[in-house]
Chains A and B, each alone.
Chain A
Amino acid sequence: MNYTRTAIILHWLVALLIFIAFPLGIYMHELALSPTKLKLYSYHKWIGVTVFTLSLLRLLWRTTHQPPPLPSSITRWQQRAARIAHYLLYALLIAVPVSGWLMSSAKGVQTVWFGLLPLPDMVPRDKSLGELLKTVHLGLNITLLTLVVVHLLAGLKHHFIDGDKIMSRMFFSNKVKSL
């Protein structure tokens, strides 16, 4: 049994956006202020808001579409670890963009999605709060990166070492069912 087509598309779309936003974030923050820097910051924020929105959609989809059960060949503790890891991943997919959004407000620059849709400033401009949220944003990102690496390695381990079909559930196959 595979994930639904919608779940698969959303998963890889979010993965792709994260793989763009993460290195972009690392690169851009070292730059001296320039028009390019301002553009890159905006693109980074737009991607972040998109990840946030898609992640909310994914959570909504997940609550209405049970993911396929894990095969019984996987031990109970591994099933439990996998469940916790996935909850954490979802939590970070929300927390990382939210921390960036708040940081942006604290630093005095509102987030305007694609330069068109303004997100409200939930915190006032405040230098020390801005620095704190920068640390929070970085910390959450390092946690996310770590979990993504574990997530990826676990998938590869199941595919190449255990030889089970877990990883292929997140790819399209001829046997895709429903939506």
Chain B
Amino acid sequence: MKPFYLANYLALSLLLASLSSQALEYRGLLAEQSTLSFTYRQMGVPMKGDFSRFTAQIAYDPAQPTTASARFEVDLKSIDVGYSDGNDEILKADWLDTSKYPTAHFISKEITPLDNNTLAIKGELNIKGKTLAVTAPLTITKKGNTQIFSGSLPINRLNFAIGEGLWSDLNVVANEITIHFHLVTANEY
């Protein structure tokens, strides 16, 4: 009797899974339209950088926003800090140490709707082997067949040991780095 029960259970979950995938969901990231950038201050100078390679898995059903989930993976070697000397330096051990930690991750843990088109996304950000809980407000815009998720998240670089040793001097490179994301997803049924 027991194996039969298990099989039933499995069949039921599969059915439910297939049903839920019938719901309007936004999953496919349109990489060429999406951007992941960051701003920071160096000697009082506002600087802008970005990542050219990243992936995101986003599941979002407008009818049930709390069931949404997001997962990002960023190829840290694709970083551009805004100037070429900096691009060599940032990969080194004092900064991102990309030979040891080639990727950064974000995994959503809890999503709370704030209003019609804003969600608070709580999750875990992992950079350079350190995982910290972060919360970012996320704005959702519908544009044609696409759904755009955008927002920004300020982090303190020293919490992730980004810029150690001599580079921990916050008068040269400020502690706060703001990550800006603009993720365009195509809807899928």
Chain A residues within CB distance 8 Å of chain B: 33-35, 38-39, 41-42, 107-112, 114-116, 118, 125, 127
Contacts and interface: CB of A to CB of B under 8 A. Distances in A.
B7 interface: no
Interface string B18-30: 0000000000000
A107 B42 CA distance: 14
B189 interface: no
A140 to B, nearest CB: 22
A140 B82 CA distance: 26
Contacts of B89: 33
Given A34-B166, A35-B166, A35-B169, A109 B47 contact: yes
B178 to A, nearest CB: 17
A29 to B, nearest CB: 10
A145 B11 CA distance: 84
B50 to A, nearest CB: 12
A110 B45 contact: yes
Interface residues of B, number: 18
A61 B25 CA distance: 69
Contacts of A39: 43, 172
Contacts of B115: none
Contacts of A116: 44
B117 to A, nearest CB: 33
Interface in B46-88: 46-47, 82-86, 88
Nearest to A42: B43
A118 B85 CA distance: 22
B9 interface: no
B169 A33 contact: no
Contacts of B83: 107-109, 125
Contacts of A34: 166
